[in-house]
Amino acid sequence: MTDRPPDPDADLVLRVGRGDPAAVQALMARKLPRMLALARRMLGDASEAEDVAQEVMVRAWRQAPTWQPGAARFDSWMHRVALNLCYDRLRRQRERPMAEPPDQIDPGPAPDAGLMGMEIKDQVEAAIAKLPERQREAIVLCHYQELGNIEAAALMEISVEALESLLSRGRRALRLLLNPLNDRRLEGLA
């Protein structure tokens, strides 16, 4: 039997389940930004991400009265729900027939985007969006959601070794995708 640390959200979830409005607000303040960030990175679409984050919060509110602590942390459950909702939307996007091809976004920086940091951020996000889903999920959970390898592996329902393999392959792919960015930065220095 393993001694699992107590769920830091257990008391808050219990209060939400009892209908405490202050607890609902606290849960939203604590979790909504993380769910939104996760969905935005997985989907690459702010509007879709907002819908997913909202649905996660609704499900959390509905689940709170019957939540049984112990099997998993509430935060882990919320991440799993968010990931499942993202995958559902990604599947629907792949399956959606289109009468016309979608508008192509100009990959270059906007005329008023003179800040190098914003350009790099956009290119990193575009590179992450090009990763295979499982590699993207591993990178997002570990690097952006700041989950540990054990928790991320549990959320993905894989071993820690498999997670580390996905992270390694994802980082390699990102290096290759972002290599032109490094070349352009070096040209600017010459």
Q: Following DSSP, what letter does each residue of the chain receive, concatenated? A: ---PPPPTTHHHHHHHHTT-HHHHHHHHHHHHHHHHHHHHHHHS-HHHHHHHHHHHHHHHHHHGGG--TTSS-HHHHHHHHHHHHHHHHHHHHHH---SSPPPPPP-SPPTT---HHHHHHHHHHHHHHHS-HHHHHHHIIIIIS---HHHHHHHHTS-HHHHHHHHHHHHHHHHHHHHHHHHHHHHHH-
Confidence band of 100 (pLDDT split at 50, 70, 90): low
> pLDDT at position 38, please?
92
Residues 12-40 have a mean pLDDT of 93
Q: In the predicted model, is pLDDT for residue 32 greater than 90? A: yes
Report the chain's mean pLDDT, rounded to a whole number.
83
Does the structure show a pLDDT above 70 at 96?
Answer: no
How many other β-carbons are positioned within 10 Å of the β-carbon of residue 164? 16
Give the Cα separation of 27 and 160 in Å (integer).
Answer: 29
- Asked whether the predicted pLDDT for residue 112 surpasses 60, the reply is no
Pick the CATH number of 112-190 from 3.20.20.70, 3.40.50.2300, 3.30.450.20, 1.10.10.10: 1.10.10.10
Reported as a pLDDT band with limits 50, 70 and 90, residue 95 is low
- Domain boundaries, given as residue ranges, for the chain: 1-98, 112-190
pLDDT at residue 34, rounded to an integer:
92
Residue written as tokens 């820690």? 160
Whole-number pLDDT of residue 190: 43
CATH architecture of the domain formed by 1-98: Orthogonal Bundle (1.10)
Say whether 112-190 and 1-98 share the same fold: no
Contact yes or no for 18/68 (Cβ under 8 A): no
Report the candidate in 134, 141, 122, 164 with the shortest Cα–Cα distance to residue 78: 141
- What's residue 189's pLDDT? 44
The model's pLDDT over 140-175, given as tens digits with 9 standing for 90+, comes to 999 888 889 998 999 899 999 999 999 999 999 999
